[in-house]
Each structure stands twice: as C-alpha cells, then as structure tokens.
Amino acid sequence: MLLADTYLDRIDFLRYLPQTDCAECGAKTCQEFVEDLKRGEKKPTDCPHLSETLYYPFQIALNADNLLPKFPCLTAPRPGQTGLVEINAPDDDTPILISGNHMHTQDVLMSILSTTRSPFFLLFTDTKGNTVDMAVIYKTLTAEQIRTEVLSSGVLEKVSHLDIIIPGLAAAAGDELKSATGWNVIVGPICAAELPLFLADRWLPPEA
C-alpha cells in the first residue's frame, strides 16, 4: 500500500542546532550529528551547546515515524471538522495554529499535539477536505480564506496578540495575509512533526 507523505524528510533538524561544527559531540559537523541522531547513535543531550528546552522536542521529532498515524495515499478529499479547537485550556497568550480539514491531516496534528501539555488554539479551515499541499494547489487554502475563518472563529477575541502560525506549505499566502490584516503571520514548518522544535519554548512534556 502506498502511504501518504507526511513530509518527515522535510524536518529541518539542523536549524535547531548551534551550527558551529565544534565537534564536541564527537561528530565532525552538526550535519553529521543530525545523521547520527536519526540513526539513534547519538542523543540530543550529546550536544553540549543545545538548549535543554530542545531535548524533549528533538525526541518527539526523531520518533515521529513511530508516532504519526499511517494512512494510504488518496486522491479524493476527506473532509473532517472545521472550526476552532481549544487544546489544554488555552489563555490569552496561547499560539494560534492554522491547518486544513482533511481528516488525516487532523489526525497527524492531534497526534503531535498529544505529546505536550502546553495550550494551543487550532483552527481547521475549510479546505474542502484537501490536504494542505493539495489545498494550496486547488486554492482552497488562501490568504483570504484564512483571514475570513480566523475572524469568524472569534479566536482573536480570546488572545492578546495577533500571531498567526500558518503551515509551511502555505507560505506563499503569508505576505498577502499580513498585508491584508496587519497580523504577525508566522510561517511554520512543512512537517507537523517539526512543530515541537519550532515551538520548543512552549512544548512542555505531559505531566508524569
């Protein structure tokens, strides 16, 4: 069975390392250290210059292939729920994440968000059931679509900021959305499993 691409190969691990190639971890370069991490030959704690806040996010991202649900590559849309989901009792400082309403995309995101006790607002926009990559191609996830659904969701009335995190695959909509709204539009990672690294300061492990 051909499985859908969850873009695990697009996780940019190197981005979160010091990139000094100091070799203190035993690898010659930070890129070599990344390859050692992927093979399980080293641990994030082996880098003496890595922030402790990144230890747990690295573990999640490195284990994502075992964590994420597997589903077949389907060409037909699979519409799931739309609207705002509140995760872990969000408050007015909580980040706002944007995604589409493909059922499997939602399963992937919820699997990743289940690894933290940190709060999030997650807005599933109506992409007609298309995955984010297909929604960009078919123009069911546009700057205007995001603007309209953010405003109608009422999420901006729940927060004290205007930070909106859009999927990396929808980066092209970022400038238009910012220009039209004045919001601080942040382009997130392409792979959902990179979110723990991207939001490392906020990605607290579940309580024991």
Write down the pLDDT at residue 132. Answer: 95
In the predicted structure, residue 19 carries a pLDDT above the cut 80: yes
Asked which of 43, 67, 91 is the last residue of a domain, the reply is 67
pTM: 0.95
Write down the pLDDT at residue 133. Answer: 93
pLDDT digits (tens, 9 = 90+) for 65-88: 999 998 888 768 999 999 999 999
- Give yes or no: residues 198 and 174 share one domain: yes
Write down the pLDDT at residue 85. Answer: 98
pLDDT digits (tens, 9 = 90+) for 103-145: 999 999 999 999 999 999 999 999 999 999 999 999 999 999 9
The SS3 call for residue 102 is: strand
* Phi-psi category of residue 67: left, alpha or beta, with phi > 0 → left and psi -120 to 50 → alpha: alpha
- Give yes or no: residues 158 and 128 share one domain: yes
pLDDT digits (tens, 9 = 90+) for 181-207: 999 999 999 999 999 999 999 999 998
- Give yes or no: residues 59 and 105 share one domain: no
- Give yes or no: residues 62 and 89 share one domain: no
Alpha-carbon span 155 to 86, nearest angstrom: 10
Please give the radius of gyration of the chain, using alpha carbons only, rounded to the nearest integer.
18
- Give yes or no: residues 180 and 87 share one domain: yes
Domain hosting 63: range is: 8-67
- Give yes or no: residues 160 and 134 share one domain: yes
Asked if the structure places residue 126 within a domain, the reply is yes
Point out which residues pair with 79 in neighbouring strands.
Answer: 102
Mean pLDDT score across all residues of the chain: 96
Mean pLDDT of 147-153: 98
Asked if the structure places residue 208 within a domain, the reply is no
In the predicted structure, residue 10 carries a pLDDT above the cut 70: yes
Write down the pLDDT at residue 76. Answer: 85
The SS3 call for residue 89 is: coil
How many domains are contained in the chain? Answer: 2
Report whether 164 contacts 80 (CB < 8 A).
no
Q: Indicate the pLDDT class of residue 208, thresholds 50, 70 and 90.
A: low
